[in-house]
Amino acid sequence: MTKIQAVLIAAFIAVTPTSGALAQQDPYLWLEEVEGAQAVAWAKAQNEHSTSRLATVPEYEPILKEITQILDSQDKIPGISFMGPYVYNFWQDAVHVRGIWRRTSIESYSTETPAWELVLDLDALSERESTNWVWKRASCLWPNHRHCMLSLSRGGADASVWREFDTFAKGFVPSGFDLPEAKSTVSWRDKDTLWVATDFGEGSLTASGYPRVARLWSRGTPLAEATTVFEGRTDDVAVSAYSAYTPEGRYDLVSQIPAFFRENTYLRLGGRYVKLDLPSDASFRGIFANRLLVSLRTPWETDGATRPADALLAIDLDAFLLGDRAFDTLFEPGERIALDSVAATRDAVVISVLDNVRSRVYRLRPEDGGWARTEIELPGLGTVSIGSASDFDERFLLYYTDLLTPSGLYSVAGDAKLNNLKTSPVWFDSEGMTTTQHEAVSKDGTHIPYFIVFPQDFDADGTTPTLLYGYGGFEISMQPTYSGVTGRAWLERGGAGCSRTYAAEASSARPGTRPRSKRTGNAHTTTSSRSLRISSHETSHHRETWALWAAPTADYSWGRLSHNVPICSGRSYARSLCST
């Protein structure tokens, strides 16, 4: 799945139908007007009500001060992206409230005091234009990334404007490309042409409110005269068009999303768009060295073989278009091993996998007769997130963390060794705390791994107060990570530690009452004052196990756990463990 598609799906989650019938049924439909006076006044009143209650707790002020210190810290790791000879960062703090877009070299970035060069000051822009601009994203033209389209929204709304920006001149381009406010996707084809999917007028949107039509827009011409290249169906989620640039050349593509976790990808060949012969629930992972990369959600029978769900496959694109289906298997799942993420540098494919919830990272280089596979040695058995990958060489970035270890940002080059660039501050004293991994058995017999973080001098007497939290939906994986806020405000005060979960939602019960259950998406969890139960729910396509995330609070008695389980969270192993 491309970044554009991920953004579309993430945005679509928040869409709520606003038909006349619904308006009659829902007396609170006015809350959908995010910036409406009534909605803003209501939200303000709710905040004041909550704050007035919280402020009566003696710990409120010191905790608020400590959390604010962490969130406003200048010592946070500046996230960076490779763009040409620079690395770019969008930064916000107490001084730069709306943020600044800046750049430096990777060599300078690795020093204690990088020499940042200001590219755009969003606070200054907002003041000049009397508009509360909120940064969304930048789409820049490969390879030098001089020509960029910046997405800015008013007050953080879903809809945004797109304006052409010159990173060499560090300013907006006079009479450049300028797309009106809408829910749009934009991508460069070349310096004088843009792929645009937006609201072109009546009939150009899907029923979900996202673009149904993609066009090619030439510089100096009205948007209305842009050439239509693809039209989806009204019942699609969205349509977008874009160009994928590689050292081997440019590939013009269209993505049609008919439903969640469904995707049709079209490649432009000789002036026409050819649909790639892939399962609709497969994920197009891009093109590397003229090889098609695809991962599977369900088994796929092709070329006389059955490719397993969660496999990552590669094949020469030209051969594929001629009918060849002899894929190379870059990754095949195991009982406790699942694919996590995929990236590509100039010379290699980089993948991260979850092996019994612990991250592992591999670099794969094509060679005669196959692929050379090198494992990247990590600092420990924690969580990894692959960051930006360079188009110009073999460098890529990864973030490493675990429940008690602050996040670190590392670069990896040709020698496959980690080079520490930045490390987050230690925000709480973890001395005496321990983390262990266990398994819970769900109602249907699925074994679900979970982590327990024991506070110092923990006594399993059932009195440790616990706040339960879970997230559930859209197969978004939330792995255990370091949290300075949770550690400082909670763990240091004697609470049991926490780890996040995969697709989870929890409910709680007060002592002496019947446990309540809450269903979300495909599963439910039930908790009580004396036990924790994790269960799953089958669908026609696959089964996912859901669990919960817990952290304690001394001021609320509900959710206390005993039986030597002060706090825990579980995580399904995506489709490799939990599929039927």
Question: 28-54 pLDDT, tens per residue?
Answer: 899 888 778 999 999 999 999 999 999
The mean pLDDT of 420-441, rounded to a whole number, is: 89
Would you put residue 304 in left (φ > 0), alpha (ψ -120 to 50) or beta? Answer: left
SS3 536: strand
Classify each residue of 505-524 as buried b or exposed e, where b means 16 or more C-beta atoms within 10 Å of its C-beta.
Answer: bbbbbeeeeeeeeeebbbbb
The number of helices, as runs of H, and strands, as runs of E, in the chain is: 9, 41
pLDDT at 13: 38
Residue 496 has pLDDT above 80, yes or no: no
420 with 377, same domain? yes
Choose the weakest-confidence range: 110-119, 185-194, 323-332, 462-471.
462-471
72 is a domain residue: no
pLDDT at 435: 83
451 with 421, same domain? no
For the four alpha carbons of 220, 185, 314 and 362, in that order, the dihedral sign comes to: positive
The mean pLDDT of 226-240, rounded to a whole number, is: 96
199 is a domain residue: no
382 with 461, same domain? no
pLDDT at 572: 28
pLDDT, one tens digit per residue, over 520-573 is: 222 222 222 222 222 222 222 222 222 333 333 333 222 222 222 223 233 322
476 or 400, which is more confident: 400
395 with 524, same domain? no
464 is a domain residue: yes
392 with 495, same domain? no
Structural domains counted in the chain: 2
Residue 117 has pLDDT above 50, yes or no: yes
| Span between the terminal Cα atoms of the chain, in Å | 23
164 is a domain residue: no
Residue 23 has pLDDT above 60, yes or no: no
Q: How far apart are CA 210 and CA 28, in angstroms?
A: 24
Q: Mean pLDDT for the chain?
A: 81
82 is a domain residue: no
Question: Across-strand partners of 329?
Answer: 313
pLDDT at 492: 84
pLDDT at 471: 58
455 with 415, same domain? no
Q: Which residue has the tokens 């696959």?
A: 542
248 or 517, which is more confident: 248
The mean pLDDT of 386-409, rounded to a whole number, is: 92
SS3 348: coil
Q: Amino acid letter at 28?
A: Y
Choose the weakest-confidence range: 108-112, 385-389, 514-518.
514-518
pLDDT bracket for residue 491 (50, 70, 90): confident
The mean pLDDT of 402-412, rounded to a whole number, is: 94
SS (H, E, C) 278-306: CCCCCEEEEEECCEEEEECCCCEEECCEE
pLDDT at 375: 96
Q: E strands, 308-395, where?
A: 312-316, 328-331, 337-344, 349-355, 358-367, 370-376, 383-389
Assign residue 354 the CATH number of its domain: 2.40.128
510 is a domain residue: yes
Choose the weakest-confidence range: 138-152, 215-229, 558-572.
558-572
pLDDT at 575: 25
406 with 440, same domain? no
Domain end, chosen from 425, 456, 490, is at: 425
520 with 444, same domain? yes
The mean pLDDT of 100-126, rounded to a whole number, is: 97
12 or 57, which is more confident: 57
Domain end, chosen from 395, 425, 455, is at: 425
398 is a domain residue: yes
450 with 552, same domain? yes
pLDDT at 464: 72
pLDDT at 218: 98
498 is a domain residue: yes
1 or 139, which is more confident: 139
The mean pLDDT of 120-129, rounded to a whole number, is: 98
The mean pLDDT of 292-319, rounded to a whole number, is: 94
pLDDT bracket for residue 448 (50, 70, 90): confident
Residue 365 has pLDDT above 80, yes or no: yes
Domain end, chosen from 405, 425, 445, is at: 425
For the chain, what is the radius of gyration of the CA atoms? 25
pLDDT, one tens digit per residue, over 252-298 is: 999 999 998 899 999 999 889 999 999 999 999 999 999 999 999 99
pLDDT at 461: 84
509 with 531, same domain? yes
Asked if 141 contacts 191 with a C-beta cutoff of 8 angstroms, the reply is yes
pLDDT at 472: 53
352 with 479, same domain? no
Note down the domain range covering 505. Answer: 434-578
472 with 566, same domain? yes
pLDDT at 449: 76
Choose the weakest-confidence range: 229-238, 372-381, 520-529.
520-529
